[in-house]
Amino acid sequence: MKSRLKLWLGGSALVLVLLVLVAPVAVGTMSEHRYKALWANALDSEPGYQAEVVEYDRGWFNARSRVRIEVSDPMASEWLLEFGMAEAGPGDTALVYLEERIHHGPFPISSAAPLDQRLKPGFAVVDTRPASELPFFRDNDIFVISSTRLGLFGGVDGFLRAMPFDVHVGDGLRLVNEGVIRVEIQSNLKFERIRSRMGSDELRLEDSQFGGVILEGFDGRSDQRRGPAQLWLGEVEFGLDSVRTLGSDPAFELRDFAWSALTDNREDFLVQNHTVDIGAIAGPALEVGPISVDYDLFNLHPQALADLQLAFAEAPALDEDSVEAAGDSFSDHWLDALLEVALHRPGSTLNSMDTRLFDDSISGAGEIQLRPLSREQLETYLNEDRFGRLANGHGRLSTSRALLQRLFANSMMGVAADEELDENTKTMVDQQIDGFINQGMLRETDAGLLELHVELEDGVLRLNGDEMMHF
Residue 459 falls within a domain, yes or no? yes
Residue 182 falls within a domain, yes or no? no
Would you say residue 115 has pLDDT above 60? no
Domain count, the chain: 1
Dist CA 124 CA 32 (whole Å): 9
| In contact, 19 and 43? CB cutoff 8 Å | no
Residue 464 falls within a domain, yes or no? yes
Specify the range with the lowest mean pLDDT, choosing from 8-12, 80-84, 388-392, 430-434. Answer: 8-12
Exposure string of 201-234, with b = 16+ CB inside 10 Å and e = fewer, is: bbbbbbeeeeebbbbbbbebbbbbebbeeebebb
Q: What is the pLDDT of residue 446?
A: 81
Closest by Cα among 249, 190, 178 to 225: 190
Would you say residue 102 has pLDDT above 80? no
Would you say residue 17 has pLDDT above 70? no
Would you say residue 1 has pLDDT above 50? no
Rounded to the nearest angstrom, the gap between the alpha carbon of residue 465 and the centroid of all alpha carbons in its chain is 39
- The pTM assigned to this predicted structure is 0.79
Most confident of 20-29, 306-315, 343-352, 408-417: 343-352
Specify the range with the lowest mean pLDDT, choosing from 72-81, 126-135, 312-321, 426-435. Answer: 312-321
What Cα–Cα distance (Å) separates residue 460 from each residue in 258, 381, 384, 438, 466? 36, 14, 16, 21, 10
Exposure string of 24-55, with b = 16+ CB inside 10 Å and e = fewer, is: beebbeebbebbeebbebbbebebbbebebee
Q: What is the pLDDT of residue 179?
A: 84
Residue 323 falls within a domain, yes or no? no
Most confident of 9-13, 21-25, 403-407: 403-407
Structure-model confidence comparison of residues 414 and 281, the more confident one: 281
Closest by Cα among 187, 225, 181, 182 to 203: 181
Dist CA 243 CA 283 (whole Å): 12
- In the structure, what pLDDT confidence band is assigned to residue 403 with cuts at 50, 70 and 90? confident
| In contact, 275 and 293? CB cutoff 8 Å | yes
**Residue-wise pLDDT tens digits, 194-221:** 899 999 988 888 887 778 888 999 999 9
Q: What residue type is 88 in one-letter code?
A: A
Q: What residues pair up with 125 in beta bridges, in sequence order? A: 103, 149
**Residue-wise pLDDT tens digits, 241-290:** 999 888 777 778 899 999 999 999 988 899 999 999 999 988 776 788 89
Residue 445 falls within a domain, yes or no? yes
Length of the chain: 471
Q: Which structural domain, as residue segments, surrounds residue 427?
A: 389-470
**Residue-wise pLDDT tens digits, 60-76:** 677 788 888 888 888 78
Pairing of strands 122-130, 165-170: unpaired
Dist CA 242 CA 204 (whole Å): 12
| In contact, 314 and 307? CB cutoff 8 Å | no
Closest by Cα among 364, 437, 440 to 401: 437
Q: What is the pLDDT of residue 292?
A: 96
| In contact, 215 and 243? CB cutoff 8 Å | yes
